[in-house]
Structure 1
Amino acid sequence: MGQVILVTGGARSGKSRHAEARVRALPGQPVYIATARADDDEMRARIAHHIDRRGSGWITVEEPFDLIGALDRSDGQGPRLVDCLTLWLSNLMFDDRAWEPEAEALVAALARQASPVILVSNEVGMGIVPANALARAFRDAQGWLNQRVAEAADEVEFVVSGLPLKVK
């Protein structure tokens, strides 16, 4: 099994930048598996910022839904960065897809990867309780997904204010 690392933290904590550096430090051409959908100008600007920051030399796979397929198809090409699980989960939930079996399939897929995988995810349950049912359901699902991936991971890092803290 290839090394699996989960990098988590709050929004704008520096987790993606840290994860990119970790992937670049591994041997082989890095593969960036992007789960974001460019549905509006603001998201297109965010995506452009990520592309500019990481620079050239990456193989980019855009996959907002079939993360397991993207991992399996890219295995052996080099170390992979999945950015991010939070957007992947929100894509599934807002498309009314059953996210629980997808999450379980992701955990199973991570166990069969030969090349390293670094996954970025947000910690969304550290603030106030959301005011509506959909937001609470998302918060709960993200917490559950993070727990399952962290359990399967070889390492877990929590990034706060740009500084990584080793959790596992």
Structure 2
Amino acid sequence: MTRHCLVLGGARSGKTAFAERLALHAGAAPAYLATAEALDAEMRDRVATHRASRGSSFTTIEEPLALPGAIRKAGKGHDVILVDCLTLWITNLLVANEDVSVAVGELSATLLEFRRAKVILVSNEVGLGIVPDNAMARTFRDLAGSAHQRLAAVCEDVYFVAAGLPLTMKGEAPALE
């Protein structure tokens, strides 16, 4: 059975590097499904740096909103799909005035029925700090936390990464070495 995976961690925690190692060990034809939109120079630089650091090991697919369809499509030619990242996806949904809860429900349903390829989801855990001082930031934090809970329930493996070190929260410890 294909085991889907959720990788959580803070900013610059090492979660993407860990997810990339998982993907490279899990299959021969990994796809990198990027949700970021490079709307300014700083974000264009970040995207370019990310792309360069992965080299040619991954096929890059960019999809800021329609993740379930992009996952199903990528599964036709790839045995592993790394989605980076869900918090940017949630931001994109909010900006597009989409219903985040409905979208997360569609993603959860897709993961439950989709077994053609392993899906590795990466997301920022934003609920560990202080309570944000404005309503929009609190709403975002709440939506992200709810999404993480729903997706952790349907993923067989869940990891939390801090200081580059993964902690297995659910499922099997990774065999990467």
TM-score range, shorter chain: over 0.9
* 2:130 counterpart residue number: 128
TM-score, normalised via structure 2 length: 0.92
* 1:117 counterpart residue number: 119
TM-score, normalised via structure 1 length: 0.97
Q: Which runs of 5+ in 1 are unaligned?
A: none
* 2:98 counterpart residue number: 97
* 1:160 counterpart residue number: 162
Could you tell me how far apart the structure 2 residues matched to 1:72 and 1:27 are? 17
Could you tell me how far apart the structure 2 residues matched to 1:127 and 1:14 are? 18
Q: Which runs of 5+ in 2 are unaligned?
A: 171-177
Partner amino acid for 2:124? N
> How big is the alpha-carbon RMSD for the aligned residues of Structure 1 and Structure 2?
0.9
* SS at 1:37 equivalent: coil
Query: 1:57 Cα shift?
Result: 2.8
Verify: 1:31 aligned to 2:31, yes or no. Answer: yes
Could you tell me how far apart the structure 2 residues matched to 1:91 and 1:17 are? 23
- Ranges of 4+ aligned residues in structure 1 off by more than 3 Å: none
Query: 1:49 Cα shift?
Result: 1.3
Query: 1:31 Cα shift?
Result: 0.4
Could you tell me how far apart the structure 2 residues matched to 1:79 and 1:112 are? 15
Partner amino acid for 1:99? V
Could you tell me how far apart the structure 2 residues matched to 1:35 and 1:27 are? 21
With 82-91 and 67-76 compared, the bigger mean Cα shift is at 67-76
* 1:84 counterpart residue number: 85
Partner amino acid for 2:118? P
Q: 1:39-84, CA deviations, whole angstroms, 9 ceiling, x for partnerless residues?
A: 0111111111111111103111100000011011111422010000
* 1:148 counterpart residue number: 150
Work out the percentage of aligned pairs sharing the same amino acid. 48
Could you tell me how far apart the structure 1 residues matched to 2:106 and 2:37 are? 21
Could you tell me how far apart the structure 2 residues matched to 1:71 and 1:28 are? 17
Verify: 1:49 aligned to 2:54, yes or no. Answer: no
* 2:10 counterpart residue number: 10
Could you tell me how far apart the structure 1 residues matched to 2:27 and 2:158 are? 20
